[in-house]
Amino acid sequence: MTTSQDIKVAVDAVVFGYTSKEGLSVLLIKRDIQPFKNGWALPGGLVGNQESLEDAVQRELKEETGISINYLEQLYSFGKPGRDPRNRVISITYYGLVKPDVFEIHADTDAAEVAWFNIKKIPPLAFDHQSIIIAAHDRLKSKILYQPVGFELLEERFPFSELEKLYMAVLDRDIDRRNFKKKIVKFGFLEETTEKQVLEGAGRPGNLFRFNQEKYFQLQKQGINFEI
pLDDT tens by residue, 7-28: 999 999 999 999 989 999 999 9
> What is residue 3's predicted lDDT score, i.e. its pLDDT?
79
Q: What is the mean pLDDT of residues 141-164?
A: 90
159 and 119 belong to one structural domain: no
32 and 126 belong to one structural domain: yes
Residues identified as active-site: 113
119 and 194 belong to one structural domain: no
Domain span including residue 162: 151-221
Domain annotation covers residue 228: no
24 and 100 belong to one structural domain: yes
pLDDT tens by residue, 94-139: 999 999 999 999 998 889 999 999 999 999 999 999 999 999 999 9
Domain boundary (115, 143, 171) is at 143
* Residue 203 pLDDT greater than 90, yes or no: no
84 and 157 belong to one structural domain: no
Domain annotation covers residue 41: yes
**Count: domains in the chain:** 2
105 and 167 belong to one structural domain: no
By DSSP bridging, strand 88-98 and strand 7-19 are: parallel
pTM: 0.91
